[in-house]
A and B are shown apart, each in its own frame.
Chain A
Amino acid sequence: MTDLPTVGLPADTTATTEHQLRPRGRRVRRLTKRDKIVLATMVAIPTIIEAALIWVPTVLSVILSFTKWNGLDLSNIRSNGVQNYHFVVNDYPAFWPAVRHNVLWLVFLALIATPLGLLIAVLLDQRLRGSKIYQTVFFVPVMLSLALVGIIWQLMYSPESGLIDSIMGTAGKPNAIDWVGDSSINIWSALIAATWKHVGYIMILYLAGLKGVDPAIKEAAAIDGANERQIFFRVVFPAMRPINIVVVVITIIESLRAFDIVFVFNGGRNGLELISALVYQNLVGEGQVIGIGSALAVILLVCALIPIVTYLSRTFGKEKQQ
């Protein structure tokens, strides 16, 4: 029987808080020239890779979003001002549905999947019989790729062979519901598939978080006459603040990164538009429209930078001030 490990919360999730900071006054000044060269190399190699393959392309995305290019010869690049953005916002039919779907994705994960993961973690944290078996069950989808999650759920949703239509008795019949093909409902089908994986992930993070909460503060609250619900919402939940921040950031980033499931379902069209899928379609699709794809990528980038900057300034803020 395998079980989830107990993670000391302060050590693992808030490792950058004060108590683990190395004392700043003790700067090492005894580095020889050779040591400095070694250190510089250790920094330079990863930094060059990170810069060349992550940040240079990110900047290039921004630059390309102001150009017109068919993606063939570099000499064909023409400046296009803000025309691409203008086109995307005003004339690109898939754009606003994609924005709505990304927002819906975030709202659904934030209001349903994440709280469900937290609820399960709280229930499993109570020394429940069979807790490890439950954990194992919810944990399995976390290890599967989102593409495979999409395929597995397509087997559930298929109007000919799917379990859902089979139970409804409509499988293979003309009145079968096409959960993936019907553009009025397929976004919900995709969200359920995404939830299947997301819940287990959140559960794991919160199980670790709950184990890290000092039982003494719960006991103190109980002695003061707080009931279980009050103890959780007023004491335990606020005490898990570092984990809560991580979970919020993960939920936002996941909803911006959502791509694989809708791509497996139908390539991200016909009711399943997402900004990430539109970027891909403009890059690989029929006529390559690099400028439009890049403008979409920049919109995605700006949305992603909000949670990233918030999270990093919280995580590293204290450290930098010192």
Chain B
Amino acid sequence: MTTTEIPSAAELSPLSQPEHSPVRAGPRPKRYGTHLFLIAMSVLWLIPLLWTLFTSLRTKTDTDANGYFSVPKSLTFSNYSDAWTQGQFTTAFTNSAIIVIPTVLLTLFLASLMAFAVSRFSWKFNITLLIIFTAGNMLPPQVLATPIFEMYRLTPLPNSVSDSGSFLNTYYGVIAIIVAFQLGFCTFVLSNYMKALPIDLTEAAMVDGCGVWRMYRQIIMPLCRPALAALGTLEVIWVYNEFFWPLLLITSGDRLPVTTAINNLKGEFLSDYNLIAAGATITIIPTLIVYLALQRQFVAGLTLGGSKG
């Protein structure tokens, strides 16, 4: 585990809140029953992960001869290299990066524009629009799957841009719909954050003749860095974890991002569970890196918004 020096979510609130949980003096109470329950639950929670890891480290000959629930004769990493090449993980990870990076940057940029306009200025429909954005994020994606699929199919794109001649099977299409979906959540969180910044900041700037764009760029955005960091981390994980939209919109297997591609491994590896387990473990690795490096940011993002599944 790492020690991070990233500000906690409490600091993420621009209004400095008094810390409600001061360190109380006195010895910690010994609660054996509680520990027993929590240890049992933790073990239950870890078993699926450990079982996946264990299965992935064993050879097929070993498990075929002795069963999966047996003392291993030997442990091997060969499943990982086999799964990596056979599952085309280099391609899948590249595809994930192609989708995740622009999606997160675009979402945060567009959401910050919208949040700035609805939270720092009062106009006729600012709250209404914010409600519409937030509601859009809470819809089940399947509600709009059919029209999105058909809209993409029927929108012609030049063949130089898309070999399908439409938005289907393109990264643009996937990026666009994920951006649209995540916009609602990010706008909601950022507008709450910006709303809590003192009004005098922009009022004073206004009196000094500061334009709206400079206000956004040089006053509000720098103050939103903690919120953007938390949201960015959360969005990287969420977009990386996105399964449904690539499944629906991308038809060539070599364009699928990791999360959607792993479902195809089951077919490709047939019933070689050791390879499937190795493939599953490989897909956890990026998540694990983010987890170790930025757990605080991720949790801060989750609790900051809390309106999304």
Give me the interface of A with B, judged by CB distance under 8 Å.
Answer: 1-13, 15-16, 20-24, 26-28, 30-32, 34-35, 38-39, 42-43, 45-47, 49-50, 52-58, 60-61, 64, 71, 74, 120, 123-124, 126-130, 133-134, 136-148, 151-156, 158, 160-163, 166-167, 171-172, 196, 199-201, 204-205, 208, 211-215, 243, 246, 249-250, 253-254, 256-257, 259-260, 263-264, 275-276, 279-280, 282-284, 290, 293-294, 297-298, 300-301, 304, 307-309, 311-312, 315-316, 319-320
One digit per residue, 1 when the CB lies within 8 angstroms of any chain A CB and 0 when it does not, for chain B 258-295 equals 01101100100001010011001001100100111001
Is B73 at the interface (CB under 8 A from chain A)?
A: no
Q: Which residues of A contact B211 (CB under 8 A)?
A: 32, 34-35, 38
A319 engages B127 (CB within 8 Å): yes
Least CB distance, B223 to chain A, in whole angstroms: 15
Residue among B4, B116, B147, B280 with max Cβ neighbours from chain A (10 Å): B147
One digit per residue, 1 when the CB lies within 8 angstroms of any chain A CB and 0 when it does not, for chain B 117-156 equals 1100110000101111111101111111111111100100
Least CB distance, B147 to chain A, in whole angstroms: 4
Instruction: Decide: A171 near B67, CB < 8 A? Known: A71-B150, A308-B139.
Output: yes
Tell me the complex Cα distance, A276–B296, Å.
33
A148 engages B9 (CB within 8 Å): no
Tell me the complex Cα distance, A22–B203, Å.
12
Which of A5, A38, A172 sits near B300, CB closer than 8 Å? A5
Q: Which residues of B contact A215 (CB under 8 A)?
A: 20-22
Q: Which residues of B contact A148 (CB under 8 A)?
A: 241, 259, 262, 280, 283-284
Instruction: Decide: A308 near B135, CB < 8 A? Known: A38-B212, A151-B276, A297-B142.
Output: yes
Q: Which residues of B contact A263 (CB under 8 A)?
A: 243, 247, 263
Q: Which residues of A contact B111 (CB under 8 A)?
A: 46
Which of A38, A138, A145, A172 sits near B243, CB closer than 8 Å? A145
Q: Which residues of B contact A127 (CB under 8 A)?
A: 24, 28-29
Instruction: Decide: A143 near B9, CB < 8 A? Known: A53-B176, A304-B140.
Output: no
Least CB distance, A219 to chain B, in whole angstroms: 11
Which of A23, A147, A160, A243 sits near B262, CB closer than 8 Å? A147
Tell me the complex Cα distance, A20–B197, Å.
9
A-B CB contact pairs (8 Å), 30 listed: A1-B1, A4-B299, A6-B9, A11-B196, A12-B13, A12-B304, A13-B306, A30-B207, A43-B129, A46-B133, A47-B114, A127-B24, A127-B29, A138-B41, A138-B45, A140-B45, A140-B291, A141-B45, A147-B259, A147-B262, A148-B283, A148-B284, A161-B55, A166-B68, A263-B247, A279-B142, A280-B145, A294-B147, A308-B139, A312-B131
A128 engages B34 (CB within 8 Å): yes
B147 engages A61 (CB within 8 Å): yes
Within 8 A of A (CB), among B177-202: 177, 179-181, 183-184, 187, 192-193, 195-196, 199, 202
Q: Which residues of B contact A141 (CB under 8 A)?
A: 45
Choose the segment among B46-54, B83-91, B157-165 that binds chain A (4+ C-beta atoms closer than 8 Å): B46-54
B303 engages A134 (CB within 8 Å): no
Tell me the complex Cα distance, A290–B154, Å.
15
Is B219 at the interface (CB under 8 A from chain A)?
A: no
Q: How many residues of B contact A (CB 8 A)?
A: 128
Least CB distance, A32 to chain B, in whole angstroms: 8
Which of B15, B35, B129 sits near A47, CB closer than 8 Å? B129
Least CB distance, B26 to chain A, in whole angstroms: 9
Majority DSSP secondary structure for residues of A touching B: helix
B49 engages A140 (CB within 8 Å): yes
Tell me the complex Cα distance, A52–B145, Å.
13
Least CB distance, A154 to chain B, in whole angstroms: 8
Is B94 at the interface (CB under 8 A from chain A)?
A: no
Is B98 at the interface (CB under 8 A from chain A)?
A: no
Q: Which residues of A contact B216 (CB under 8 A)?
A: 42
A253 engages B45 (CB within 8 Å): no
B113 engages A253 (CB within 8 Å): no
B192 engages A156 (CB within 8 Å): no
A137 engages B46 (CB within 8 Å): yes
Tell me the complex Cα distance, A136–B238, Å.
19
Is B302 at the interface (CB under 8 A from chain A)?
A: yes
B142 engages A204 (CB within 8 Å): no
B291 engages A39 (CB within 8 Å): no
Q: A5-B303, A152-B49 are in contact. List 11 more A-B contacts (CB 8 A).
A: A7-B303, A12-B12, A16-B192, A21-B195, A32-B211, A128-B28, A254-B309, A279-B142, A284-B248, A290-B146, A297-B144
Is B76 at the interface (CB under 8 A from chain A)?
A: no
A294 engages B192 (CB within 8 Å): no
Q: Which residues of A contact B299 (CB under 8 A)?
A: 4-5, 139, 204
